[in-house]
Amino acid sequence: MATAAPARAVDVPVGDKQRLTLDISNTTEGGYHFDNRNSAPIDPKNPTLTPSQRVDDHYGEWLNRLQVRAFLWKFNAGLRVDSALFFGTLSRSGARDLIDKELGPFGHPSDLALENRFAEELHSRYGTLLPGNVRGVVYPSKLWVGFKNEWIEASVGDFYLHLGRGVTVSVAQFV
């Protein structure tokens, strides 16, 4: 299912003859991941679990991009905030319960190492544990300021450059 709202911009009067134009856009998508059947059966001779095959089932995701651009006189500035939130993921205690269920009662020293590998996989795949038992990341992905007049156009920061009709180059500077 897809839906789109009409694009909108706001002009705010600044002084007698100037206007601040704000252009705000948001792109969001959500999904749910069912069991992808990639978990290998447990070998009775060497019983272990592979965390990467167990944490990628039965969770939801919400991916969002919020972009705000402002234009005033010959200046422009922009910010894009990206977020990826995951819900229904396996928790640390859920990993311990899974280990107990699949391999027997918890208590071996290697079980703690396995639980730690589950925690590392959860953190690297889904980000930090946020309030509300949701995992994810929220970060500013683009930030720029620019100036444009009849003779020059300059932008500083992490911005998009449009070439011709439809070719977009993303310019990023990481320090």
∠ at Cα 86 (82, 89), nearest 5°?
A: 160
Q: What is the pLDDT of residues 123-154, one digit of tens each?
A: 888 998 888 888 999 999 899 999 999 998 88
Instruction: Please give the model's pTM, rounded to 2 decimal places.
Output: 0.73
Rounded CA-CA distance 91/97 in Å is: 10
Look at 77 and 96; give whichever has higher pLDDT: 77
